[in-house]
Structure 1
């Protein structure tokens, strides 16, 4: 599995070349490390913000963002080390148990993240069209996120038996074969099962959520332009832009990888193409490098999402600033002061930072007429 997608039986050593350091391998490892670090730290701060400020941030959109951040953390923790081990040719560190655990969690969180974006699209539509503000509550959002997690984990239970560690490619792959059947029927069944798996995986983790989001956006756009376009507050516009940015980032980062994965599978069903790759190692290396760079790009949206939270949400942005500027603990200590002392301290700070003369017209009037010229 590339993630959990199988590879053809072509010698992976052909990609490396015989002489000189593998620049592509080092570059991929560095990029994967940066993506993993930013994803885990950034989404961890976002999730921690919701947990610490649970009373102030009881907003349905923020709760769904918390579920999305948790899914991104799990994917980063599972997939980034897996990809780094493969690039560093340390696939022997993986075990059969690791691959089964990885197959269930990785696949589940791919679907969870995609359908959390669908829920955010629905909440955006409610935000922009429900003028009475009687939409879903925080409890509804929490229940929806829990249902997505449980349903996805249950749906991926079959991955426990299908995920194995391939000693040849040193990757976690998916096998759907039945050892009791003859070789010809075994190969045909394995190929058709893998094809169904790839199509269903791409549909539920990418294409179907985008279709649902597109339908929701079309309906929301029609309703908002006809009835509500002039009544949006600044906060509603900001939340709408944040959700749209999350969806566009997801679509752009994942599209090349999903397309090339399906194209690769159907190309490898062509025996002539397989023969060409065996005979032309340069073409094979180009294919492999393109696939792996696009798969890295598909994980890039996990690192971009925390940046979107920090720049487009005032609440998240304040907490990110506190953490980055190392003032989080200091602000917490100040918040523990009694309200009267804290209010008095704010008044003193305001006086200290307020200029004595803010109106230039008053400065001329305040100057006495009999002031000696030497002081000017």
Structure 2
């Protein structure tokens, strides 16, 4: 039978301690001195355990039930409430505990995240990491400790969450090293320790030979000249489709070989910070395409002006529709957004360019360990060289696809 406030209040001490039970494991322990302690009985790993919830009347019956429900939720998620409680105390008291440093890192990163991202990161910390390692000194944690925590997430079927947790751990330990709280870096030993993350990327061609064949098809595209120019620039520049179709002549400096634009505020926070212009170096090939296009659309603000809607740019579906005309299934083979994945993969894995250069080129915000975004002009000279080598490499792929027996130069290799 459930307890009532009156029954708890009127409970008198006896010769021995005794218990008054509520529901779902909650009870109040009445001591011989009259003190009343809330306790919760729960099962974890096949063992019965007790959790102290506080003292009556400071903790009311309603408070105790709320604490009980919260603890039972933790148990359902595989979290031991007692360990979570110790982790919370460590966060408050342990300057160099994992939890304390992780929260410090979280606060530093918070301004750079969208609200949904911040909520997910906090839930990951509080539900999946703090209960098991929060009260440990960060300098004491080993790769085995971290792997055990990650496998606990993985074993419940949350493979993507486990990989996200590994990334978060890497950033936290990097922050701890930069702030001189540890020289420890156990995350590095975890590469390849988790099952592969389930890929949910947009379809993209990442095989160089197949990319070469696509470039030939683009060159032979017999639709609108404006659309063909747009298709030709997509692999060269690999910006977001929405930014490609909205390119404006006023943002182009063909003499300097640069396209400068400000990503929309609707773009997620992993991109350039709001209001920060993005500079895209233009290769000789890209400049040539734009110069040839200028006599046709130069009177419009938009490089890829709409032929049906006066004063507007090409529609959002233009690139995908053209790809479909060329014979590509945009849900399986390659889509407009896929040009970004294509460049990201080949520039890194085939040509060996530095990841931060590529990320800058993709208009992703590249940050240091303290969460500060690097200046938008960082590595601009190197990125200009990379973009020219990339364009030369694409020319080589196209020529190879046109004449398979012709051996082309190893264009574009970093270094």
Q: TM-score by structure 2 length? A: 0.18
Q: Relative CO higher for 1 or 2, CA cutoff 8 Å, sep ≥ 6?
A: 1
| Bigger proportion of residues as helix | 1
